[in-house]
Amino acid sequence: MVCVNVSPRVALVDERVSITVTGLRPVQRVTVQSWLKQGEAVFRSNAHFLADGQGQIDVSHHVSYGGTYRGVDSMGLFRSMKPVPGASRKTRILKDDVMTPLVFTLSVMDGHIAFDDLQLPRTVELATGELERWYKHPTVHRIVVREGPLRGTLFLPPGEGPFPGLIDMSGSIGGLVEYRAALLASRGFACFALSYFRYDDLPSSMADIDFDYILGAVDWLASHPHVQVGGIGVIGASKGGEVAFLLGMTTNKIRCSCQHCFEQYFCDNTACKLNVGDILMLNTNNLKYTDEGVYLKDNLSYGIEVIPAWKNNAQILYLLGEDDGVMPIDHAKYFIETCPEEKRKNIELVSYPGTGHRIEPPYMPMYRTLYHPVLGMTLVVGGHPEAHAAAEEDAWRRLLNFLHKHLPH
């Protein structure tokens, strides 16, 4: 009997898993498919294998000869998933509810089947299995925060603590994004997913954000009884990276700061109160349109100021992709050149070839395009699958090591 085996069957999203198939004929041609339904969207991947002389396949060691990825990659069936055409316009797997897992269905089908033919009735399914991948470990506590004006979610690891504290902020889409904070708490940090606009009673526009609100979140977390004294860290993606820089400049309570895919721009020349000077401008009358979507990076102009995130001696991890379709990567060069020589030892800049704007936790599918509801357009965020996947794995490892090294324990 053909069986598909997954170990561990329940895992965090940043953990590698083992997938094996047994009970096949020697040298049998099969397709292994991964399938996920997330809201209205459906994502699939497939890989073509030949069983070995014992009628077995080990995805970690056997070559995929075709499908959505090629070569040997134990997590290829997850990182290469693509949206099924017609199911939804969404290109990104975004987990809104971290209290539930992403449930992947794995199936083994006879023969080598193309991606577009996976749903045809003539496919012969030999075996199925399921895998749960979580952003939040079951022992992590999720606490909704409504303290005065503050809005967000605090995730605490199991135990009494105190734990190293960390604020996590999303980008210019706004809202409340919890998945990375939940995963960081699962790795031992007291992590506050902070919303700062387009959520609950917070401002609906970036132009109306009060920076004192974010400083208040720093004070609140730094003094929390479950957070280790001595300063906290901040991690920001995209627009959140800019906010992280501003915090490093403004308060000495930030011990370390990590910026993923830094993004600074004004929309329609409307100044955001968070910005320090006219750092970048978005010329909405001269955008580069392609069949994929809009590239922003060639339509951003530099101002003369750079946020001096090094001012209060925070340690800085600056991660960026060289195939970023949103942000000109030259900004990192200007940032380093502007930094005083004696402060540069506090900055670790890592630039990844073939990598796009959004550097996410590893082993999830890359998306080259993303609909931006604030800008009202589909953006090309960039990235090439193999290079982007390798960058995310390295970046996540660097991030955890960086936080463990520089936050008080």
pLDDT band at 121 (very low <50, low <70, confident <90, very high): confident
Q: 371, 89 in Cβ contact below 8 A?
A: yes
The residue that leads in pLDDT, 287 or 114, is: 114
pLDDT band at 270 (very low <50, low <70, confident <90, very high): very low
The stretch 68-81 carries a mean pLDDT of 97
CA 89 from chain centre, in angstroms, equals 19
pLDDT band at 382 (very low <50, low <70, confident <90, very high): very high
Q: 210: closest CA among 202, 221, 200?
A: 202
pLDDT band at 6 (very low <50, low <70, confident <90, very high): very high
- CA–CA separation, 132 and 13 (whole Å): 9
Residues 6+ apart with CB under 8 A from 50: 27, 28, 29, 62, 65
What class does CATH assign to 141-406? alpha beta
% of the chain surpassing 70 pLDDT: 92
Listed by start position, the domains of the chain span: 3-134, 141-406
- Does this model's pTM top 0.85? yes
Token reading at 244: 């992280």
Which pairing describes strands 315-321 and 190-194: parallel, antiparallel, or unpaired? unpaired
Residue 282 has pLDDT above 70, yes or no: no
Residue-level pLDDT at 172:
86
Which pairing describes strands 41-50 and 165-169: parallel, antiparallel, or unpaired? unpaired
Residue-level pLDDT at 267:
27
Give the Cα-Cα-Cα angle 29, 34, 37 (nearest 5 degrees).
150
CA 400 from chain centre, in angstroms, equals 14
Cα distance between the two ends of the chain: 51
Q: Which of 214-218, 285-289, 381-385 has the lowest mean pLDDT?
A: 285-289
Residue-level pLDDT at 409:
79
In terms of Cβ atoms closer than 10 Å to its own Cβ (0-12, 13-18, 19+), residue 341 is: exposed
- CA–CA separation, 359 and 263 (whole Å): 12
Token reading at 89: 């316009």
pLDDT band at 294 (very low <50, low <70, confident <90, very high): very high
pLDDT in tens, 8-35: 999 999 999 999 999 999 999 999 999 9
Task: Classify domain 3-134 at the CATH topology level.
Answer: Immunoglobulin-like (2.60.40)
pLDDT in tens, 315-330: 999 999 999 998 888 8
Q: Coil, strand, or helix at residue 347?
A: strand
Residue 345 has pLDDT above 80, yes or no: yes
Average pLDDT of the chain?
90
**Selected catalytic residue, list 48, 260, 331, 357:** 357
pLDDT in tens, 227-260: 999 999 999 988 898 899 999 899 999 998 887 6
Active-site residue flag, 357: yes
Residue 224 has pLDDT above 90, yes or no: yes
Residue-level pLDDT at 260:
60
In terms of Cβ atoms closer than 10 Å to its own Cβ (0-12, 13-18, 19+), residue 11 is: middle
The stretch 269-282 carries a mean pLDDT of 37
Q: 221, 255 in Cβ contact below 8 A?
A: no
Active-site residue flag, 172: no
Residue-level pLDDT at 108:
97
Q: 51, 22 in Cβ contact below 8 A?
A: no
**Selected catalytic residue, list 45, 107, 172, 238:** 238
Q: 169, 234 in Cβ contact below 8 A?
A: yes
Active-site residue flag, 96: no
Residue-level pLDDT at 247:
92
pLDDT in tens, 385-405: 999 999 999 999 999 999 999
Residue 355 has pLDDT above 90, yes or no: yes
Residue 300 has pLDDT above 80, yes or no: no
**Selected catalytic residue, list 195, 324, 372, 406:** 324
Helix (H) or strand (E) holding 387, with range, is: helix 385-406
- CA–CA separation, 259 and 7 (whole Å): 33
The stretch 345-357 carries a mean pLDDT of 95
Token reading at 366: 């890359």
pLDDT in tens, 33-55: 999 998 888 999 999 999 999 99
Residue 285 has pLDDT above 80, yes or no: no
Q: 395, 350 in Cβ contact below 8 A?
A: yes
The stretch 354-377 carries a mean pLDDT of 92
Residue 211 has pLDDT above 80, yes or no: yes
pLDDT band at 375 (very low <50, low <70, confident <90, very high): confident
